[in-house]
Amino acid sequence: MFPEGQYLAVTSRLALDAGGQTAMFLLRNRLFAEHAGIVPTLVSFDDQVDQERIRATLRAEGKVTEQTQFRNLHESLSTENFPATQEKLSVPGRDYHRPDGSVYLRKSPDGVFLAGPDQRITHRFDSVRALRGWWLSRQFDPGQRVFIISDSRFAVRSLVPLKQNPQVRLIHVVHNIHVTAPYQRDSPIQPSHEPVLEAIPELDALVTLTRRQGEDIAARFATANNLRVIPNPIDGGPTAEPGDRRPLLRFVVLGRLEPQKQIADAVRAFALVVAEEPGARLEIYGEGSQRAELEEQIRAAGLEKSVELRGYDPAAKEELHTATALLLTSRFEGYPLVVLEAMRRGCPVIAYDIAYGPREQVRDGGFLLEPGDTAGLAERMLRLIREPGLVEQLSRAAREQAAEHTVEQYLRQWQALLHHVA
């Protein structure tokens, strides 16, 4: 049993096309609802106007339960009816409007202002951070212990002051690497992670997805005695083995077409594969800012018949059932869900040995390579094409590894942590 209380799950923004962090945020809260008997309220701060459409889609896709509650800062403030002062909203700034055209929120260099429909000021704050903290405190159920689980490094500074309330327990989950290039233990801290790491003494717990990242943080922050490691789970466990042998000429990439993912490396390596095995195919699922660059790279290399950009497909992970291997060429990760999805389906993984995740995940279910080793990437693909027995061996090992990432273990770890901080 999880400890009794109100559970608020905080993210900056809920989006239908977001990546692994949002997927894991939704999965964790769904698992809490389905298996632990608690239904967290999902809290977001973004100003998207189509909140109801997003929620309806998430419910239709089974990513949240029917009982899941949502709270959004802008949606809430636009419908509130606060007592107004006599002061008119007159300072210039960036405005946020109600459906009737009246301003409910104005951000200006002089502060952040809330206004009623008559445009008289109801509240003023020194910063957006202060507004967020004040608004979130209004969501607390009186008399209950409040467990805030934050997945947004951008929200932490708004949440820490809430610890002044003795009923509040604050946990933050780190989803990605906390340092910049060259991504070593002593590399410079990512500016976006500074608020999280500075807040360590104020947190009840800081959760990392790998022991290695936890140790790297602890080595640099003497106050980090509240770290916990809870790896992402595989929802549903390993899938049944398909009846036919796994194809030997079909490789896939699943990921956003963004610089972090370095998908150009996969294309570069695949050109070496096609030179020796013209029948090989690479399918890339995802969208992003580098699509045009990748299209040009594919055209310039004469790979139009060998490499296909398939775009974003919410069902793309099912392609892992019939792929020879998944390629992961990222600069950095946290604990990539796509690797877990591959292992669940018995799909071998060829990945760069980066911080963090692949080293802890892949083990006997694939190959790890030095980052940037495109020749090695090509050599491993050619080896799989030519050694069907090796593909089957790695596939079995991947399924065995997947069996270690159970929902039951994941929930036990969260239960223990929540009781510890309660």
What tens-digit pLDDT sequence spans the chain (422 residues)? 899 999 999 999 998 876 789 999 999 999 999 999 898 999 999 998 889 999 999 999 999 999 999 999 999 999 998 998 889 999 999 999 999 999 999 999 999 999 999 999 999 999 999 999 999 999 999 999 999 999 999 999 999 999 999 999 999 999 999 999 999 999 999 999 999 999 999 999 999 999 999 999 999 997 778 999 999 999 876 675 655 578 899 999 999 999 999 999 999 999 999 999 999 999 999 999 999 999 999 999 999 999 999 999 989 999 999 999 999 999 999 999 999 999 999 999 999 999 999 999 998 999 999 999 999 999 999 999 999 999 999 999 999 998 889 999 999 999 999 999 99
Q: Are residues 396 and 309 in the same domain?
A: yes
- Cβ–Cβ under 8 Å, residues 352 and 376: no
- pTM for the model: 0.91
What are the C-alpha distances in Å from 214 to residues 138, 176, 182, 218, 282?
A: 33, 12, 18, 6, 35
Q: Are residues 319 and 284 in the same domain?
A: yes
Indicate the pairing of strand 94-97 with strand 69-72.
Answer: unpaired
**Chain centroid, CA 417 distance in Å:** 21
Q: Is residue 416 part of a domain?
A: yes
Q: Are residues 139 and 267 in the same domain?
A: no
Last residue of a domain, one of 91, 112, 129: 129
∠ CA 416-420-422 to the nearest 5 degrees?
115
Q: Is residue 239 part of a domain?
A: no
Q: Is residue 153 part of a domain?
A: yes
Q: Is residue 272 part of a domain?
A: yes
3-state secondary structure of 176: coil
| Residue located via tokens 């099912």 | 318
Q: Are residues 94 and 169 in the same domain?
A: no
- Cβ–Cβ under 8 Å, residues 233 and 405: yes
Q: Is residue 240 part of a domain?
A: no
Listed in order, strand segments (DSSP E) in 1-97 are 6-10, 41-44, 69-72, 94-97
Domain count along the chain: 3
Q: Is residue 397 part of a domain?
A: yes
Closest alpha carbon to 246 in 92, 125, 391, 397? 391
- Structural domain of residue 90, as residue ranges? 77-129
- Cβ–Cβ under 8 Å, residues 231 and 374: no
